[in-house]
Structure 1
Amino acid sequence: MLQEEFAKILDVHKNTVVRFESEKGKPNIEELNKVLTAFPDINPTWLLTGEGPMKRGDTSGTSPPLDEELLQAVLEAVEEYLDQVKGRLKPAKKAQLVAALYDIFCGEEEKAVDKATVIRLVKLAV
């Protein structure tokens, strides 16, 4: 959908939509209500937080149960390599790195941590 079309549906100026898309501004409560009224199948939690399924009742985007052992192994591998190279990451960046690695390894059949992949991605992050 074009920005102009979306703006017309919400009865807002096109620049408002541009502001949302560029993340230079967030919708106010009135604008959020307009979106939910115009698109009733949109999940309000997803609209507000970006988490969960985009559409109400959609379970296809739900995550599998957390594999705590795998997550712990990923975190330990990241910490081990950072200690070896005396590297540091801000907590938010480290969390993103661990989450990305977890997603990679969780998708593997073995669900095992590949140290070479950890090293490659930590090098990119440091």
Structure 2
Amino acid sequence: MRESISDRILKIYEYKGFHQYSQFAKATGLIDQTAANYIKGKQKPDSEKMEKIIRAFEEIDERWLLTGEGNMLKSETSLQSNPNKMVLSDFSDLEITEYIAQNLNRFKSFATFRIVVGLEN
């Protein structure tokens, strides 16, 4: 049985290590609910939205995303990188602030962090 476009979008979502539809939406420039609908299979993206997804994830093979043929990643070397790697821009300021607040004691032990946040000169 051939994968649907929603199945492939879900694979990208999982590959990127996203845990919230809003993370996928932010990365692609889509509205949160639209991204959720694509991932859940409730809606299929039109060509404009597919282009946004393709531009957002340059390591994803366009042919695979559009047709399901070939490999998800453009090159095999990409498979060696951490599929759960995330960058700071994947998170909102609130998510970052909450994470720091929850892990403040751990962060205080890092000398660089102490200087950056003004705990030391």
* TM-score of Structure 1 vs Structure 2, range by shorter chain: 0.3 to 0.5
TM-score, normalization by structure 1: 0.42
TM-score, normalization by structure 2: 0.44
Q: Greater CA radius of gyration, 1 or 2?
A: 1
Structure number with higher relative contact order (C-alpha < 8 Å, ≥ 6 residues apart): 2
